[in-house]
Structure 1
Amino acid sequence: MHMFKVATLYKFVPLDNLIALQQKLQSICQALTGTLLIASEGINGTIAGLPDLLDKAMAEIEAMPSFDNLWYQYSQATHKPFGRLKIRIKKEIITMHQPKPLSMSLRGRHVVAADWNNRLDQAAVVIDVRNNYEYRLGSFKGAINPETTYFSQFPSFVETHLKPYKDQPIAMFCTGGIRCEKASAYMLANGFKEIYQLSGGILQYLAHTAEDASRWQGECFVFDERISLGHGLKKGSALLCYGCRMPLKKEDLDDDYKPGLRCKFCSKDK
């Protein structure tokens, strides 16, 4: 059995000539699978392949002047986590649909995994910046769920729920950190004063925090065939409904449920 190596990566950096960049990344990553999004604001995505091929591609990407200090987190998969390679040009690498581009020089203060538990205790409020279906699988105890379906709904949540905390310390987290980068930029541009974000996101925390010292509860949804990861970035137990694409926990499943069948969430939509 082949073991596949997976790299989750991002960087906010001004980019131009995106078509040429798309072609270059296509060439560099031709032996890999996964998705990379590029836009004038930067790069974001997850790619996977055999370890030596992924390491070679990552070295070439990092050697590009725009992508020095690229953030990335490695994990493993026992099966190929993506069907094919997609390099896409987008308007935003994280879609927020704001009328004016955000200044990404405004970002929350990064907190490394080793210091995150203390920050959770000191924050006036802790926000899970991910979407509702991700929150369902797991989160930090006491974190607020914005109940969004799309990240572009997060600004509305800020306006309706977080104004009382404008002058208080706010801690935020997401899967790999990129959504917090943009969320904190939005909040700082709108008068919030003290925002902290989990550096490298949940993936970094699960990779570097012992389970007996962890504040994380449940599993972390990932956007590939593994579906969810647990401590040590080991594959979790979640399944994915083929009908509604909802990630499913064990307690969501009837005794006779089998992968490929529709789940209880599908029936709610009928």
Structure 2
Amino acid sequence: MILHNRVSAQVLKERLMAEPFRRITLSWYQYAHIEDPSAFRDTLYQHLDALQVFGRIYVAKEGINAQVSLPEHQLEAFRRYLNSIPFLKNIRLNTAVEDNGKSFWVLKIKVRDKIVADGISDPGFDITRKGKYLDAEAFNRLAADPDTVIVDMRNHYEYEVGHMEGALEVPADTFREQLPMAVELLKGQQDKNIVMYCTGGIRCEKASAWMLHNGFKHVYHLEGGIIHYTRSAREQGLPLKFRGKNFVFDERMGERVSDDIISRCHQCGKPCDTHTNCRNEGCHLLFIQCGECAEKYNGCCSDTCRDSYALPSAERQLLRKGSPAKARFFNKSRNRVPQRDKNR
């Protein structure tokens, strides 16, 4: 029984592009008690693989977090399978805002300690005691209340390219750092309406429970996050309070929500909200790069990385062996963004 992919990424991508049918991108999560995450993971893999589902799914004792791409003609079979799992019955599926279905090319299901790493060790914390859900209309109404504080519970690189009007950024690199920081930033505002949001709802739901645990009285979180809010607001003809692009964790790296471009190229400073990873395999830094700088630096984040990327493959491998890979690879820290080219 095969429970992992054994085909190369290149072949998988070629197969994906050659598919004659349309795919759609969906995301969902659910906090629930899973007794044996490993056994659940294996069963889930078998069923989803049979439906030609690709994506990234995390399973833990506290629940499941999933982003997937599936053939449109398999949607009903996919729903039936999820409904056969008691804690996933009638689960809300967030449909991507901008989507060609090519968001994933392989199915990866991993077992983790938690579906959202939070750093919480307090045995008295109860994830089920969470804030109240807000739909799009209720969010807009509360956002207009001067006694409301809107809190963005995403990372800095997500907030940078798009966020809700007037939203407070919690300036940390990880969610586990954000939770205590949010409590500190909002100290003295325990009686205000605290409205939390994130991409699909999973982080702000846990954050809302943490704020209640820390004495805040009126805590809310946006149902389905930015993805569900955007679709609902457009369907109902409501004004959109989100400006810019919604960062997503797949090949697209972003969904256009409004025409506003609120961020700048990290290399030249021109308005831009296109994320990319440095092409130098020893760096792979996530940063914002405009088309002109992509050409100038050959898709790299600096002169150093561009020069390294231009070397023969064997020489690049030798350089990577001598570099502290753990400190660089996929590093999204606020302190790692490239310095702008002062000669531009």
**Which TM-score applies when normalising by structure 1?**
0.88
Q: 1:247 to 1:120 in 2, by over 3 A?
A: farther
Q: Match of 1:105?
A: 128
Q: Match of 1:95?
A: 117
Q: Which runs of no fewer than 5 residues in structure 2 stay unpaired?
A: 1-19, 259-271, 303-335
Counterparts of 1:94-243 in structure 2, within 5 Å, are 94-100=116-122, 102-122=125-145, 123-210=147-234, 213-231=239-257, 238-242=274-278, 243=283
What is the CA distance between 1:4 and its match in structure 2? 1.6
Q: State the Cα RMSD in Å.
A: 2.5
User: Residues 42-78 of structure 1: CA distance to partner in whole angstroms, max 9, x if unpaired?
Assistant: 1111011211234422320222112124232123632
Q: 1:61 to 1:245 in 2, by over 3 A?
A: farther
- Please point out which of 74, 77, 85 is paired with 1:64: 85
Max radius of gyration: which structure? Answer: 2
What is the CA distance between 1:115 and its match in structure 2? 2.2
SS in 2 for 1:77: coil
Q: Give the conservation status (yes or no) of the 8 Å contact 1:15–1:66.
A: no
Q: Match of 2:10?
A: none
Q: Match of 1:86?
A: 108
Equivalent AA in structure 2 for residue 96 of structure 1: D
Q: Give the conservation status (yes or no) of the 8 Å contact 1:241–1:260.
A: no
Identity of aligned residues (%): 27
User: Residues 212-249 of structure 1: CA distance to partner in whole angstroms, max 9, x if unpaired?
Assistant: 821111010000011111239xxx9733223444252x
Q: 1:52 to 1:255 in 2, by over 3 A?
A: same
What is the CA distance between 1:268 and its match in structure 2? 4.1
What is the CA distance between 1:120 and its match in structure 2? 0.7
Q: Give the conservation status (yes or no) of the 8 Å contact 1:9–1:71.
A: yes
Higher RCO by CA contacts (8 Å cutoff, separation 6 or greater): 1
SS in 1 for 2:168: coil
SS in 1 for 2:188: helix
Q: Give the conservation status (yes or no) of the 8 Å contact 1:126–1:170.
A: yes
Bigger share in strand: 1
Q: Give the conservation status (yes or no) of the 8 Å contact 1:33–1:82.
A: yes
User: Residues 119-167 of structure 1: CA distance to partner in whole angstroms, max 9, x if unpaired?
Assistant: 1112431100111000011001110110121111112212321111112
What is the CA distance between 1:180 and its match in structure 2? 0.9
SS in 2 for 1:207: helix
Q: Give the conservation status (yes or no) of the 8 Å contact 1:131–1:149.
A: yes
> Which deviates more from structure 2 when the two are superposed, residues 187-196 or residues 156-165?
156-165
Q: Give the conservation status (yes or no) of the 8 Å contact 2:287–2:338.
A: no
Q: Match of 1:262?
A: 300
Would you say how many aligned residue pairs link Structure 1 and Structure 2? 263
Equivalent AA in structure 1 for residue 243 of structure 2: Q
Measured in 2, the distance between the counterparts of 1:4 and 1:47 equals 10
SS in 1 for 2:120: coil
> Which deviates more from structure 2 when the two are superposed, residues 92-101 or residues 21-30?
92-101
